[in-house]
Chain A
Amino acid sequence: MEGLAQRAAECLAEIREKQPLIHNITNFVVMNSTANALLACGASPVMAHALEEVEQMVSFAGALVLNIGTLTPPWVESMLLAAKKARALGVPAILDPVGSGATALRTESSRRIINQAGVSVVRGNASEVLSLTDSASRTKGVDSAHSVDEASQAARDLALAIDTPVAITGAVDLITDGKRTLRVANGHPMMTKVTGTGCLASAIIGAFLAVEPDYLVASAAALAYVGLAGERAAAVSPGPGSLQVNMLDALYNISPADLAQGAQIRA
């Protein structure tokens, strides 16, 4: 069977075989958990944000993950520098505009990274994605005040405007490049009770970008994998504490065949 679930399985197998270096400039909250998630997936994470080293680091990387969760202006400068270098070298980059829309610094920094450096994928919740378009939107802190459906047209408009696939994660994830749209129905509601599951999803998308040149497919495959891990973990977790631990185990234990079987990628 040659479907998207199969493509997702092939991506996972390739990540485990090649163990691509994933360069993260991310936030204090999830630095440890996303590094562990990338290891469990089979990738090789590195966290490096000093202005003096990001260009050198990204030159060895299979992908770059930018996350503005606990941003300060110097960190944003590092992200811009790394993203420009990544673009020059053809290294794919993903931006997670955490809390964009909540403060001017977050919205402006996200827009600067997109417009001045350019990225390969933008992944956010509905409110964050809406904040990057010119439509009026309100973000409540870092959690979404909007549904995926409300933001789907905005996501398509944004993807076309910046010529970059946009992923909105929610109950059903939506990934669009403006012309093509996919949905991923994997996941579990308990995932929203653990901090950093969105950041984890972005980091894993980074790993999939390192092996799959069609960034729309890579993003859908990564989100199916993370969602499936969430489903498996939730089935054996009485609450969010154990879910966090069991997510890592699930990411580690899901085989390519499991992903081919369990991925729920739709249109």
Chain B
Amino acid sequence: MRDIDRLHVLTDTELQSRYSHEELTELAIAGGAGVIQFRQKHGSTRQMIETARHMQAICRRRNAKLIINDRLDVALAAGADGVHLGQDDFPMALARQILGPDKIIGGSASTMEEAGLCLAEGVDYIGLGPVFPTTSKDDAGPAGGLELVRRVSREFGLPVIAIGGIDAARASEVIRAGAHGMAVISAVCCQADPQAAAAELLLAMLG
């Protein structure tokens, strides 16, 4: 089993406009994020590749990992460490064939069934959520709660990265429920001091 870092920060420039993807990458890593995930649903492919390459350079320099959401082509173009794929995105097993065994592949799941599909498709970790209600993602389904985290963590033997409405106050209960780690957006990107926010999350995760 791969060694997946525990604090994932999704950089976001739609919920906030103060910081760029590159700035958030620097700040989140400085605060303690081991994985940065680049997720952008709009904009040109060319622009995305350029941003991803900048982010990859920062991650490489600072020994963190970059994962690209949904866009396998952008991940390949930027030399990223892996991809994170939703249930309707690029097929996970096919992504594994293309990327090979060394790249990280994460799969999104919001139910036990979807988590089982992720396992069958050979992902390295399950991005499980939304755990709590969230406003960061328009199309997020109903919150699965900590019980789902507990069940998926127990059932599948894959690292569970919980996502959705997690902040420093809830970090330790998510970990106690069995999650390997967590992915956050607003809890870092939408704070006045993203570095301090990431640092606070990291400390909270230690319980």
B6 touching A267 by the CB < 8 A rule?
yes
Q: Mark A2-40, 1 if CB is under 8 A from B, else 0.
A: 111111000000000000000000000000000000000
Instruction: Tell me whether B63 and A267 are in contact (CB under 8 A).
Output: no
Say yes or no: A3 contacts B199, CB within 8 Å. Answer: yes
Complex Cα distance, B63 from A183, in Å, reads 10
Which chain A residues (160-190) contact chain B, with CB distance < 8 Å? 171-172, 174, 180-183, 185
B23-66: CB near A (< 8 Å → 1, else 0) gives 00000011111100000000000000000000000000011100
What residues of B have a CB within 8 angstroms of the CB of A214 in the complex? 206
Within the complex, the shortest CB–CB distance from A129 to chain B, in Å, comes to: 13
Name A's interface SS: mixed
Is A265 part of the binding interface, using a Cβ–Cβ cutoff of 8 Å? yes
A264 at the interface (CB under 8 A from B): yes
- Of the candidates B29, B33, B193, the one whose C-beta lies within 8 Å of that of A1 is B193
Does B196 belong to the interface (CB within 8 Å)?
Answer: yes
B207 at the interface (CB under 8 A from A): yes
Other-chain residue from A4, A171, A174, A185 in contact with B202 (beta carbon distance below 8 A)? A4
List A contacts of B193 (CB < 8 A). Answer: 1
Cβ contact within 8 Å between A152 and B206: no
Q: How many A-B residue pairs have CB under 8 A?
A: 66
Which residues of chain B in 193-207 are interfacial with respect to chain A, using CB atoms and an 8 Å cutoff?
193, 195-196, 198-200, 202-203, 205-207
**A153 interface hit (Cβ, 8 Å):** yes
Contact among B30, B181, B200 with A267 in the assembled complex (CB-CB below 8 Å): B181
**Residues 179-214 of chain A: 1 if any B CB is under 8 Å from the residue's CB, otherwise 0?**
011110100000000000000000000000000001
CB of B158 closer than 8 Å to a CB of A = no
Q: Are A266 and B203 in contact (CB-based, < 8 A)? A: no
Cβ-defined partner of B63 (8 Å) among A180, A181, A185, A217: A185
Which residues of the partner chain B approach A174 to less than 8 Å between Cβ atoms? 3
Q: Is A258 an interface residue (CB 8 A)?
A: no
Nearest CB on A from B67, distance (A): 15
Asked whether, in the complex, the Cβ of B203 is within 8 Å of the Cβ of A183, the reply is: no
A254 within 8 A of B: no
Q: Is A108 an interface residue (CB 8 A)?
A: no
Choose from A3, A4, A7, A266 the contact partner of B5 (Cβ within 8 Å). Answer: A266
Cross-chain contact B32 with A3 (CB below 8 angstroms) = yes
Asked if B7 is at the interface of the complex by the 8 Å CB criterion, the answer is yes
- Which residue from B32, B64, B181, B200 sits with its C-beta under 8 Å from A2? B200
Is A265 a contact partner of B202 (Cβ separation < 8 A)?
yes
Residues in A neighbouring B175, C-beta threshold 8 A = 180
- CA–CA, A14 to B29, complex, Å? 27
B1 touches A7 (CB 8 A): no
Interface pair A4/B32, CB less than 8 Å apart: yes
Bound complex: CA A124 to CA B205 (Å): 25
Complex formed: what's the CA distance from A5 to B29 in Å?
12
The reply to whether A153 and B1 form a contact with Cβ atoms under 8 Å apart is yes
Residues of B within 8 A of A171 (CB): 63
User: Can you report 5 A-B residue pairs in the complex whose CB atoms are below 8 A from each other?
Assistant: A1-B200, A2-B199, A4-B199, A264-B30, A266-B33
Give me the 7 closest cross-chain CB pairs, A-B, nearest first.
A3-B199, A267-B6, A152-B3, A185-B63, A1-B196, A267-B7, A266-B34
